[in-house]
């Protein structure tokens, strides 16, 4: 098997083939599957000139123990996309929309956050190196290709990064149940960073103190809080709604 990182599942592998087929070294596929979904993926891979390795279920299980690979694993070159946040800001032609995640350690949650970030046109997702999950095969699968489109930056000091954003005119809003205002009442149409903490722990003290303001999501039912990935989708949609139009390509 070629050396490289592994991604798996139809969504993640298909997205990689469409966005950067040249980085796909091999595609390992369950030879026992002959359904339309698999045939479509094989056609895409062949058209891209990707080497296809016919495999069996137990072999794929050995490659990624415990993963729900759906019979598809790709070997891709290089590490997950990484960029410098200030370079990203310098290259924008619209107000920045940044997502900061403080203490999200569950790969399923991170993958879902990245997927929402891609859908809502987020320019970068930022997380601390010391207490956050990195890009794993599980994250790539749940993100359904968003790992390739949304820069995920792990920084040494999240509070300092938020300070840098503020110095560049970015409004930093932390989400907390005790927030001073309902999120929709704030002006989110300018340069913005939304900061969300892990479910249960919430924002760390230094992160909370660095935010320009704390806001809450209005709740109309009996539950008191939302999963961080669900809250991320709600918050990003409100920010994008206030901007009034999709991000330019």
With respect to residue 249, please indicate whether it lies within any of the assigned structural domains. Answer: no
Q: Are 45 and 12 part of one and the same domain?
A: yes
Q: Are 63 and 178 part of one and the same domain?
A: no
With respect to residue 248, please indicate whether it lies within any of the assigned structural domains. Answer: no
Q: Are 224 and 133 part of one and the same domain?
A: yes
- Which pLDDT does position 249 carry in this prediction? 41
Q: Are 65 and 117 part of one and the same domain?
A: no
Q: Are 95 and 49 part of one and the same domain?
A: no
Range of the domain at 21: 5-76
Q: Are 18 and 139 part of one and the same domain?
A: no
- Which pLDDT does position 177 carry in this prediction? 87
- Which pLDDT does position 80 carry in this prediction? 55
- Which pLDDT does position 248 carry in this prediction? 44
- As averages over each run of 10 residues, the pLDDT of the chain (249 residues) reads 81 84 92 92 93 91 84 82 78 92 94 95 94 88 85 94 96 93 96 91 92 94 86 96 68
Q: Where are the strands (E) in the chain, listed by range?
A: 5-8, 24-30, 52-55, 72-76, 97-102, 124-128, 152-155, 171-175, 181-182, 192-197, 213-216
Q: Are 137 and 46 part of one and the same domain?
A: no
Q: Among the three residues 28, 54, 76, which one is the final residue of a domain in this structure?
A: 76
Closest listed residue to residue 179, CA positions, set 159, 194, 189: 194
């Amino acid at each position: 098997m070629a050396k490289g990182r592994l991604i798996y599942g139809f969504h993640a592998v298909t997205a990689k083939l469409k966005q950067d087929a040249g980085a796909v070294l091999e595609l390992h596929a369950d030879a026992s599957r002959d359904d339309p979904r698999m045939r479509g993926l094989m056609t895409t891979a062949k058209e891209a000139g990707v080497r296809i390795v016919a495999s069996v279920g137990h072999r794929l299980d050995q490659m990624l123990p415990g993963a729900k690979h759906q019979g598809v694993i790709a070997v891709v070159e290089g590490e997950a996309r990484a960029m410098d946040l200030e370079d990203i800001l310098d290259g924008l032609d619209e107000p920045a929309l940044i997502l900061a995640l403080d203490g999200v350690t569950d790969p399923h949650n991170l993958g879902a956050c990245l997927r929402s970030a891609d859908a809502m046109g987020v320019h970068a997702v930022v997380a601390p190196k010391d207490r956050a999950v990195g890009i794993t095969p599980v994250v790539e699968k749940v993100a359904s290709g968003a790992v390739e489109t949304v820069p995920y930056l792990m920084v040494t000091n999240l509070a300092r990064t938020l300070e840098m954003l503020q110095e560049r005119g970015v409004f930093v809003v932390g989400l907390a149940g005790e927030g001073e205002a309902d999120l929709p009442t704030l002006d989110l149409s300018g340069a913005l960073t939304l900061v969300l903490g892990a479910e249960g722990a919430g924002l760390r003290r230094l992160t909370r103190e660095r935010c320009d303001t704390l806001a809450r999501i209005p709740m109309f039912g009996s539950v008191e809080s939302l999963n961080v990935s669900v809250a991320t989708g709600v918050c990003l949609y409100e920010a994008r709604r206030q901007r009034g139009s999709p991000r330019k390509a």
